[in-house]
Structure 1
Amino acid sequence: MRSMLNFNVHEGNLEAIVHGYKNGLLRPEEYNNLCQCDALVDLKAQLQVTEYGNFLQNEGVLTSKVICDKALEKLLGEFQEIRDWSEAPLSQFLDFITYEYMINNVLKLIAAKRSGRDSLEILYKCHPLGTFNGISSMLAASTVDEMFELVLIDSPIGKFFQCSQQKDFDELSLEYIRGLLQKGYLEAFYDFCLSVGGDTATVMCPVLEFEADRLVITVTANTCGMRDLQSADRRKLYPNIGTLVDIHDDLADVENEEQLKDRLKRFNEFFELFDDSKGMEGGNKKSLEKRFVEKTVQIYRDALSKQFQYGVFYAYVKLKELEIQNLQWISDCIVQNMKQRVHEYVAITG
């Protein structure tokens, strides 16, 4: 466990770097300027006077994908700099951040394999924070089960597959596999933060508990009415952490959204997510996912505001990723001439 003094000796300089990065997050007035753009070349010009600077200077043809890829490349460079200078246990904590992206990349390749799409093309679209040695070897697999065997042998995320080794992955839905892996990931990350202790545990454990509750609610909502999914199978997707643990059995039996809302009545922060009067945007009902994302922003901002703990690294990556998604949304609205919806991005900074 790091004391305040020890933290400054070992990680104080890296924490200071992240707070510097935080100050570079796009401000409301900068978002407003981006939303006024009529073409991507105008967007490029507006981004040049922000912390993004000349990150697009070598790009001839601008597209939404190019802008987001270069922004992700910038984030990867920032993250890698911190990772290169870190030592355990911070280095292990940073690795845990990347595991979530590794899992998502593997799932993309599995989806491509099942659909018969070109896996090599999908590999180029994988998140840069989630690449690892051996990921390309998955392309040689002929079945999903073979892909998992390769992941178990070669990747740092093999531990999250081991809890499901007896499953026939070729017969399971992709969303069910995703749930199993996210459950294992969140539980392992939570246990690691507990082992680090101190302010890191104080900040990160509630963050991960919220993510676990989010997974439980999302899985429940998305599987309502699926006759081939038994309540016992749904229950296996629920992480054994979070504020909803005591009602997991009740949630596993939910058959529709009204029942889900009823089960969540005594959990105000989650019950309010289903209040349509508070979830409108441009005359349209916000998705449950959008409402969760907006809620996580405040959680990440709170974690980023506290000193002498590792949550600042996690929160910055999460907020920066949301910022990049905002850039994609604004870019797409400009390209598709949907200026009436360009302001429907997720507000990150106040």
Structure 2
Amino acid sequence: MADTSRGWSADTRTRLSHYGNFLADINQTLSTSVIEQKLNKKLIEDFNYIKSQATYPLSKFMDYITYSYMIDNILLIITGTIHNRDKGEILKKCNPLGWFDTLPTLSITTDLNSLYETVLIDTPLAKYFHNCLSIDDLDDLNIEIIRNILYKEYLEDFYKFCLAELPNPTDEIMERLLSFEADKRTINICINSLDTDLSSDEKLKMLPSIGLLASNDAIKYQLSELSDLENLKILMSSVGPYKDFFNDSTSAGATSKSLEDSFYEYEMNLNRNAFTQQFTYSTIWAFIKSKEQEIRNITWISECIAQNQKDKINNYISVY
């Protein structure tokens, strides 16, 4: 049987050449994981280059962008530690955009209060932890509760910064972008908590106070009281931008679309609109999010080719 991997590798390398020479130092046959790794490295280099040229308030704005990756890195290490996973392997999975010097020391203890006092108190995320410190047992459920509380505090803080410190129209664009991020988290929290014993009050503590869903107290309360997915679908059918997110398919005869794909698609529409305004800081956010989606697309297409599943290649979210 002929070896098609070399042909796929060479053709892929040629077609990705317009991204620059980011594959120039790869001598072996390309794999999907290598392509994804190199694309992410290029994105991080671009982000850091822009940040090195930035002054306030753009520099602080870009700091806020990194905070979400810091949250994910912290929870990744805590989760890995309680499951006794290899520290070196966990650190390799951390996103460089969310790296800070004391991150590796998080693996020294599984007690959140100790982690806060010894490590987290000196990070920009310290102020987001005040509603988490009462959580003693760091099991998988509580770690997700901590993640959601941290993101709630982070998004609300970022939102306040954008409205108070950024010029128009950046503040208006970021209001829309961050409101969607909050709504997306609210919907996912409601879905993921359906099969848990969390009370309505416990859910409300995790739901952001910004966004379209938070602007209506009745809807927010109903979301916290949901007990099954069908009621969530009914409730969302009355919320303009999200009314079609829970349809079983995009249209008659169309390929079924997951909720995650609906989120990504709507997010890309918001990011495209962010580029229609000139000289706004919000384009940095839109650039990062669009590049991340582009990387997911390239990874998906590369894997479809490698697995000879070319009929599925077009099942990606358009960036442009």
Query: Would the alpha carbon gap of residues 187 and 279 (structure 1) be closer, same or farther in structure 2, given more than 3 Å must change?
Result: farther
Which residue does the alignment assign to 1:127? 95
Deviations along 1:195-224, whole A, 9 cap, x unmatched?
114222111011111111111111112222
Shift of 1:154: 3.3
Aligned position for 2:177: 207
- Farther off after superposition, 116-125 or 262-271: 262-271
After superposition, residues 86-125 of structure 1 pair within 5 angstroms as 86-125=54-93
Matches within 5 A, 1:1-350: 39-48=8-17, 50=18, 52-61=19-28, 62-143=30-111, 146-168=114-136, 170-171=138-139, 172-197=141-166, 198-226=168-196, 228-245=197-214, 246=216, 247-278=219-250, 283=255, 285-349=256-320
Q: Which one-letter code corresponds to 2:86 in the other structure?
A: D
Say if 2:152 and 2:206, in contact at 8 Å, map to a contact too. yes
TM-score normalized with structure 1 length: 0.82
Deviation at 1:145, TM superposition (A): 5.1
| 1:336–1:143 CA distance, 2 compared to 1 (3 A) | farther
The ranges of structure 1 where at least 4 consecutive aligned residues each deviate by more than 6 angstroms after the TM superposition are: 279-282
Distance 2:185 2:110 in 1: 30
* Cα distance change of structure 1 residues 156 and 280 upon mapping to structure 2, 3 Å threshold: farther
Q: Deviations over 1:14-71 (max 9, x none)?
A: xxxxxxxxxxxxxxxxxxxxxxx962332111111x1x12211111232222211111
Query: Is the contact made by 1:133 and 1:154 (CA closer than 8 Å) also made in structure 2?
Result: no
Seen in structure 2, the aligned counterparts of structure 1 residues 45 and 282 have a Cα distance that, compared at 3 Å, is farther
Shift of 1:272: 0.9
Is the 1:220–1:251 Cα contact (8 Å) retained in structure 2? Answer: yes
Q: For 1:105 and 1:336, locate their aligned partners in 2 and report how far apart those are by CA, in whole Å.
A: 31
The separation in 1 between residues aligned to 2:158 and 2:251, in whole angstroms, is 31
**Are the structure 2 counterparts of residues 207 and 276 from structure 1 closer, same or farther at C-alpha, using a change threshold of 3 Å?**
same
Identify if the C-alpha distance between structure 1 residues 279 and 129 changes in structure 2 by more than 3 Å, giving closer, same or farther: farther
Report deviation, 1:148.
Answer: 4.4
Cα gap change, 1:98/1:249 in structure 2, threshold over 3 Å: closer, same or farther?
A: same
Inter-CA distance 147–286: structure 2 relative to 1 (3 Å threshold) = farther
For 1:270 and 1:110, the matched residues in 2 are separated by 33
Residue pair 1:55, 1:70 contacting (<8 A) in 2 also: yes
The one-character-per-residue Cα deviations of 1:147-171 (angstroms, maximum 9, x if unpaired) are 4444422322222222322222514
Distance in 1 (alpha carbons) for counterparts of 2:55 and 2:180: 28
Structure 2 residue runs of 5 or longer lacking an equivalent are 1-5
Q: Any conservation in 2 of the 1:83–1:94 contact (CA below 8 Å)? A: yes
Q: From the superposition, tell whether residues 149 and 65 of structure 1 become closer, same or farther in structure 2 (CA, over 3 Å).
A: farther
Q: Give distance in 2, aligned partners of 1:141 and 1:40.
A: 44
CA distance in 1, matches of 2:310, 2:48: 36
Contact 2:135 2:142 in 1 (8 A): no
Superposed displacement of residue 174, structure 1: 2.8
Q: Per chain length, whose mean CA-contact separation is higher, i.e. which structure has more relative contact order (CA < 8 Å, sep 6+)? A: 1
The count of aligned residue pairs is 309
Answer whether contact 2:78 2:110 (CA < 8 A) is retained.
no
Aligned-pair identity in percent equals: 37
> How far apart are 1:139 and its partner, in Å?
2.7
Q: Which letter maps to 2:184?
A: R
Secondary structure of residue in 1 paired with 2:16 = helix
Distance 1:281 1:38 in 2: 35
Normalising by the residue count of structure 2, what TM-score does the alignment of the two structures yield?
Answer: 0.90
The offset of 1:184, in angstroms, is 0.9
Cα separation, partners in 2 of 1:164 and 1:325, compared to 1, 3 Å: same
Secondary structure of residue in 1 paired with 2:296: helix
Instruction: Name the CA shift for 1:179/1:142 in 2 (closer, same or farther; >3 Å).
Output: closer
Q: Is the contact made by 1:38 and 1:334 (CA closer than 8 Å) also made in structure 2?
A: no
Contact 1:152 1:158 in 2 (8 A): yes
Q: Secondary structure at the match of 2:169?
A: helix
> RMSD of the alignment, in Å?
2.1
Q: Deviations over 1:245-300 (max 9, x none)?
A: 122111100111111122223212112101123179984x3221111111100001
Whichever residue aligns with residue 111 of structure 1, its letter is T
SS of match in other structure, 2:275: helix
